[in-house]
Chains A and B, each alone.
Chain A
Amino acid sequence: NAGVTQTPKFRILKIGQSMTLQCAQDMNHNYMYWYRQDPGMGLKLIYYSVGAGITDKGEVPNGYNVSRSTTEDFPLRLELAAPSQTSVYFCASSSAGVGANVLTFGAGSRLTVL
Chain B
Amino acid sequence: AQTVTQSQPEMSVQEAETVTLSCTYDTSESDYYLFWYKQPPSRQMILVIRQEAYKQQNATENRFSVNFQKAAKSFSLKISDSQLGDAAMYFCAYRSARGGSEKLVFGKGTKLTVNP
Contact = CB atoms under 8 A, between A and B. Distances in A.
Given A42-B4, A42-B107, A100 B102 contact: yes
Interface of B: 4, 9, 33, 35, 42-47, 50, 91, 93, 95, 102-104, 106-109
Most buried by A among B9, B44, B108: B44
Nearest to B107: A42
A31 B102 contact: yes
A88 B79 CA distance: 27
Contacts of A107: 42-44
B47 A103 contact: yes
B55 to A, nearest CB: 13
A96 B106 CA distance: 20
B44 A105 contact: yes
Interface string A20-58: 000000000001010000001111110010100000001
A105 B45 contact: yes
